[in-house]
Amino acid sequence: MRSIKSILIALLAITSISSASAQSLPGGFVYLRDIDPTIIQDVRYATPNNFVGRPLAGYGAGECVVKREVGLRLKAVQEELTAQNLSLKMFDCYRPARASLDMVKWSQNGRETAAERRYNPKIPKSELFRLGYIASRSQHSTGAALDLTLVDLKADNSGKYDPTKTYADCTAPVEARAPEGSVDMGTGYDCTDARGHTAAPSINPEQRAWRRRLVAAMARQGFVNYSKEWWHFSLPGAGGAAYDFPIQPRRS
């Protein structure tokens, strides 16, 4: 009897420790994988494959974290797209406030590398904040803003980014720029150029149709697109205070 009691006490202790060590998220945030694991994720700021060229502060894992309401609405969008052999692909979701400050420091370091120019072919990076391409206080930090694109599930999406390869800038034809494993929206993600504006007249009809399709699918769930970035959407009323907790690996 005493031995059974000891085992039960030990099991309770283990459960207690596991619960205490489990990842908890504040303010109604959730991991998107817990809402819909079918949505593809490529959280670029957790990797060197972004305009800064290294992981940003606060990105300890490539996980999409969102407010629960945002996640549920993304799930509804995904269900609609799945019937069309399409999928959402998330590039960025919740962004720790420290990451935005990291971007500010990057913009002020006085250097312009070739890799950085791929994302900013015509605009000096010191001008990106003034022109509204990057914000020092981002809505992403509230959990209500997202960067995303569409994936055609019937297409060959096997192309991978190769850090040793020299790619054309983000406005170049899709064959020449860095692969993103998604439909051709006319520019790459995070392209600070007029061609990256959602209604840019300089893109071709097929690219324009893909953008309209994405905007329409998101709008049906209440998401609003930012006119200077075809990839950026937010859900009005779902935000609130900005947060700065780091993104940690999700524990199953």
Binding-site sequence positions: 140, 147, 232
Active site (annotated) includes residue 63: no
- Rounded CA-CA distance 213/216 in Å is 5
Residue stretches of the annotated binding site for Zn(2+) = 140, 147, 232
| DSSP per-residue string spanning 61-124 | S---EEEHHHHHHHHHHHHHHHTTTEEEEEEE-S--HHHHHHHHHHHTS----HHHHTT-SSS-
Buried b (16+ CB within 10 A) or exposed e, 31-47: bbbebbeebbbbbbbbe
- Rounded CA-CA distance 93/31 in Å is 10
| Strand partners for 58 | none
Given a contact cutoff of 8 angstroms between Cβ atoms, the answer to whether 87 and 38 are in contact is yes
Of 79, 180, 206, 229, the catalytic one is 229
Residues forming the active site: 229
